[in-house]
Structure 1
Amino acid sequence: MNEQKLIKYLASYKEWLIKNPSAANEAKQERIEAQRKAHTFTKERLLTMSEDDLFEYLSPLWAMAMWGNKHYQIDNIIEANGIELLRKQFTNLIYGETDIEKRWDDFRSKIKGIGPAIMSELLCKTYSSQYLLWNKKTYTGFKTLNIDNLPRYEARLDGKMYAKLSEIGRELLTKSQEYGYNEICDLLALNSFIWNELQDDSTDCTIPDKGEELIATSKKDATFIHNDIRDKVAEIGHCLGFRAEVEKKVAAGAVVDAIWEVTIGNMGRVIYVFEVQTSGSIDSLILNLMKAKNNKAVQGIVAVTDQKQIERIKKEIESLPIKDEVKFWDYTEVLKIHEALQFVNESINRLGLVPNGL
């Protein structure tokens, strides 16, 4: 960490607070209200929460800002996971008695459609002195301060890494207070400082360059990477107006990673199938795509992976009937498109053209 940079940006933030008392107070009150709401979801309430409670829990989150129709997105989360599993996993993540590393990994391995941004925001708002809010803004802020060994994208953020990042956040908090900046009183206030001051100097991107291999360092890593990209493919479909689902059975013996579905006039259902390849057998991916084509509604089959594995798959299907039907999508493009759509949606939603809750 570059302490000289930290001191410089702390001074700049102090100046901003003095010059903008109304905005500073509004941000402070927003943080207080966010913490208050988070604390109303006690262990007992999470264990018994209804679907309406889940909407109340998730919809105010900053990580949900990209969704204009939050009901639609949260309904998809419920459909993908089931309310009982969501109750159990949210309770364990927030109030479990094991260490955060295990609770984090358990949640990520079992829950579809919810990633580190939502998880860390809930943890930070519930335990603002302990857990860091992690998203691209935080990544950029940490890079600005020359903090090394950061996860370039969400799939790399396992429980061990999140615990380490939270530790770094607490160190930044301590340093800030040692320098006399008591306005940064917890990690939620630290997040405001990061958003205000640490977004200009970093040129690094959280998205890998096209052609970078989708290499997993462990089975757990492979699972997180696979699920992260799978969920983003589905979210892109939602943004484009499709009905999108993950882990969907589309034909006998074919449960695919994600689908986009739409009904077109008298044509009926049209389905696009996506299979994400991070590790394991390419033969299994090919077989799943071939089986998916047995559903006449399936109009497109797409393999999502890195460039090296794309070339391997192309060679494997060269002699198969589906060789001209399989489309390929580099996972780095998925990440870039998802980020771009997130920016567009958040920008449009800030216009307030659609009332909240619709």
Structure 2
Amino acid sequence: MNEQKLKVAISEFVNKKKSNAAYYEENWAERKERKEYYQSFTKDRLLAMTEEEFLEYISKLWSMLIWGNKKYVVDKMIADNGFGTLKKQLAELLYGTSPIEKRWDVFLKSIKGMGPATISELLTYANPKEYVIFNKTTILCYGYLDIPDMPKYNYQYTGKKYAEVCAIAKEIAEQLKKAGAEDYDLLAVDYFMWDEILPFAEKKTSDIPATTGVKKAVTANDSKSLHDEIKEKLVAIGELLGFDSRSEVKIATGAVVDAVWEAKIGNMGKAIYVFEVQSKGSIDSLILNLKKAQSNAAVQAVVAVANEEQLAKIIRESAGVIDEKSLRTWDSEDVLAVYDSLVRVHESINKLALVPESF
């Protein structure tokens, strides 16, 4: 960690707190209120929650700001996991006695629809002395502080990495205490990073020129995880854009595709956009699936998603097999960037509360 950068940031933070106390007190009060709300729950109370109570519990999270219709998201969590299983796994994550590395990994492997940002936020509220929020903001801020080996993809957000991130946050908390003579927990560390470090981290990121040349190869062990992550992001992008978006959909006889975006056109029918993801290996099955998908009259376009090298092969080998007019290609790195940008846009707009939750 770059101690000098941290020292300068802490000094600025402390000075701003003194010169604009009302602003910082208001922001910290909001965080304190959230912490008190979530700490009012016990393991037994969580397990006894109704679906309505669970909706309120999840809807209050910052990680849910991207969704205008939070009930839709929560209902999908319950449908995908089963309400009893969802509560049981969540209770074990938050109140279990196993090491956090194990609880983290077990939860992410067992439960759909709740990722690292959501579960780390809940952990932070439940025990802010031990756990910090682990999301894109954390990664950007740690990067600015020259902390190495931060994850790029979701499958790299492991329990082991989370424990490392929390240990670093505790070091930052100690430095904040020394500078401000206050008892800073890891929720306060998140506030410090969000308020003071993030603007510099975002500027640093925007100043980095786009990379050229061959991207780092994906290993065989990571290939399936990356494939699944891109597929999940495609579904999420579709949902954020207002489509009926699903994964693993049978689109034609013998063709189950990675993702579809579907839009109903009144009572006339529907328009479907099909996505197939390629992360490594043979592209024959991808080309065959896209060709079969084109036999569905509702399919408006088929999209191959892969890295630059794979896309070049797909374009070359699909010539004369897939109707070129309806074939699109999308760089997988761009998919991840678009998802991140859409999340930021929806978070910002939803903070305005332009549409009531009950609408």
Normalized against structure 2, the TM-score is what?
Answer: 0.87
Equivalent-residue separation in structure 2 for 1:240 and 1:309 (angstroms): 27
Measure, in 2, the Cα distance between the counterparts of 1:317 and 1:168: 48
**What count of residue pairs does the alignment treat as equivalent?**
356
Instruction: Write out aligned runs for 1:162-241 (5 A).
Output: 162-177=162-177, 179-183=178-182, 185-202=184-201, 203-204=204-205, 213=215, 215-217=217-219, 219=221, 221-241=222-242
Partner of 2:117: 117
1:180-239, Cα deviation, whole Å (9 max, x unpaired): 4343511100011111110233313799858764744463x4344333322221222122
Mark the CA change 1:343 to 1:295 in structure 2 (over 3 Å): closer, same or farther: same
1-structure distance, mates of 2:56, 2:164: 30
Moved more, 155-164 or 294-303: 294-303
Secondary structure, aligned partner of 2:301? strand
Q: For 1:218 and 1:123, locate their aligned partners in 2 and report how far apart those are by CA, in whole Å.
A: 32
TM-superposed deviation, 1:21: 2.3
Is 1:343 the equivalent of 2:328? no
**Structure-1 separation of matches of 2:317 and 2:107:** 35
Higher relative contact order (CA 8 A, sep 6+): 1
**Distance in 1, Cα, partners of 2:211 & 2:122:** 30
Name stretches of at least 5 consecutive residues in structure 1 with no aligned partner. none
Native 8 Å contact 1:68 1:356 kept in 2:
yes
Structure 1 partner of 2:269: 268
Residue of structure 1 in register with 2:104 after alignment? 104
Q: Deviations over 1:128-162 (max 9, x none)?
A: 11122122222222122222222234443222222
**Contact 1:115–1:228 (8 Å) recurs in 2:** no
Instruction: Give 1:183's aligned amino acid.
Output: E
* Partner in structure 1 of residue 16 of structure 2: 16
Alignment of 1:44-55 (within 5 A): 44-55=44-55
| Structure 1 residue matching 2:199: 3-state secondary structure | coil
Residue 159 (structure 1) aligns with: 159
Where 1:121 maps in the other structure, the secondary structure is helix
- CA deviations 1:336-356 (Å, max 9, x no partner) are 222222222222223232224
Q: Distance in 1 between matches of 2:322 and 2:144?
A: 51
User: Larger deviation: 3-12 or 154-163?
Assistant: 154-163
* Secondary structure of the corresponding residue to residue 200 of structure 2: coil
Residues 251 and 51 of structure 1: CA distance in aligned 2, closer, same or farther (over 3 Å)? farther
Unaligned runs of 5+ in 2: none
- The CA deviation at 1:249 is 3.5
- Once residues 62 and 186 of structure 2 are traced to their aligned partners in structure 1, the CA distance between those partners, rounded to angstroms, is 15
Match of 1:307 in 2: 308
Q: Which residues in structure 2 correspond to 1:241-256 (within 5 Å)?
A: 241-256=242-257
Structure 2 vs 1, CA of residues 141 and 28 (structure 1 numbering), >3 Å: closer, same or farther? Answer: same
Residue 264 of structure 1, CA deviation = 0.8
The secondary structure found in structure 2 opposite 1:351 is coil
Q: Report the CA distance between 1:297 and its aligned residue.
A: 2.9
| Alignment correspondent of 1:288 | 289
Partner of 2:130: 130
- Identity fraction in percent: 42
Rounded to whole Å, the distance in 2 between the matches of 1:214 and 1:297 is 37
Distance (whole Å) between structure 1 residues aligned to residue 86 and residue 319 of structure 2: 43
8 Å contact kept, 1:210–1:332: no
TM-score normalized by the length of structure 1: 0.87
Pick which of 246-255 and 265-274 moved more.
246-255
Matches within 5 A, 1:16-35: 16-35=16-35
CA distance in 2, matches of 1:183, 1:207: 40
| Distance change in 2, residues 1:21/1:49 (3 Å) | same
Equivalent residues of 2:5, 2:145 under 8 A apart: yes
Instruction: Give the letter for the 2:163 counterpart.
Output: A
